[in-house]
Copies of this chain bind each other. A is one copy, B any other.
Amino acid sequence: MKLHILGCYAATPRTMTNPSSQVLEIRNHLFLIDCGEGTQVQLRKNKIKFSRINHIFISHLHGDHFFGLPGLISTFRLLGRDKEMHIYGPKGIKEAITLLLKLGDSWTNYPLVFHELVSKDSELIFEDAKVTVETIPLDHRVYTNGFLFKEKIAERTLDIDAVNKNNINRAYFQNIKNGKDVVLENGTVIPNTELSFDPPAPMSYAYCSDTAMRIEVVPQITGVDVLYHESTFLESENHLTAKTKHATAKEAANIAKEAKVGTLLLGHYSTRYKSIDLFKEEAETIFDNVQLADDGKLFEF
């Protein structure tokens, strides 16, 4: 599982800081999560193949998470895309994109499929043989969802030596990968564990931005390998969280601790602070495994 951070700073784009956008590589999918202004340039800088993106997840309709989407959609058209593009985001996103395309008389030559979200409860919004994606209801000034990406348990891996030694026909291979024992023609049963290895543990990633600290997310994200949680502020500015509906680094760390996640990844930093190291220091007073997102950084988990 790889995570490309394209932008992880709060509010307005600046010369050196980009608004929210990231690409999660998971089981051969490239999921684009949020799309602040300038995302398409960040995709190019990070050498991410545009054509491999088929699903875009938008947490909420504030500009710093969304205003790069119209341009990206237009660019896909100019690049000659013909595959479907699936866009998941709050109700209204379809009307906005449709109006902008209409005004520019620039309809896409590929199908745009909108999945508009309205539920205040978690929903399963994507599923295939390898991955599921659920919404994580968050607490922000407008309707906002985080997203929980989970790998499914993969197939078991054939133990080729054991399979050959037992002279097992190829016709059984898929059953073995699916965890079945093999019954030979003479009636002998060979247990699956003697013919295959455990698959890699399925990974999971939770994206929680933007949000005030919301303890209700804990049951849903308990045990995830990686939690990206916004930390717009430090505790010194905790008087701002109620009005702005953002969280502090300490609050993010509390969520990580309660949910017993593997790694806490901080982001969505206000640019008022001298150094983002301050966020890590504050979170580490609560939770051990803290990492800092930063624009252009690639994490492999």
- With beta carbons under 8 angstroms apart, the residue of B11, B40, B41 that contacts A78 is B11
The answer to whether B63 touches A100, judged by C-beta atoms less than 8 angstroms apart, is yes
| A175 at interface by CB-CB < 8 Å | no
- From A66-74, A156-164, A217-225, give the one contacting chain B: A66-74
Q: A37-B37, A99-B96 are in contact. Are A63 and B11 (CB under 8 A)?
A: no
Contacts of A142 in B (CB 8 A): 103-105
Interface residues on A, range: 35 or more
The answer to whether A74 touches B104, judged by C-beta atoms less than 8 angstroms apart, is no
Contacts of A38 in B (CB 8 A): 13, 37-38, 41
| CB-CB nearest in chain B for A93 | B103
The answer to whether B12 touches A66, judged by C-beta atoms less than 8 angstroms apart, is no
Minimum CB–CB distance from A98 to chain B (whole Å) comes to: 10
| CB-CB nearest in chain B for A45 | B15
| A61 at interface by CB-CB < 8 Å | yes
The answer to whether B104 touches A71, judged by C-beta atoms less than 8 angstroms apart, is no
The 10 closest A-B pairs by CB, nearest first: A61-B103, A12-B75, A37-B71, A63-B74, A92-B103, A67-B71, A62-B104, A61-B104, A105-B142, A15-B44
Q: A14-B44, A90-B103 are in contact. List 7 more A-B contacts (CB 8 A).
A: A12-B75, A13-B38, A13-B41, A15-B41, A38-B38, A67-B71, A67-B100
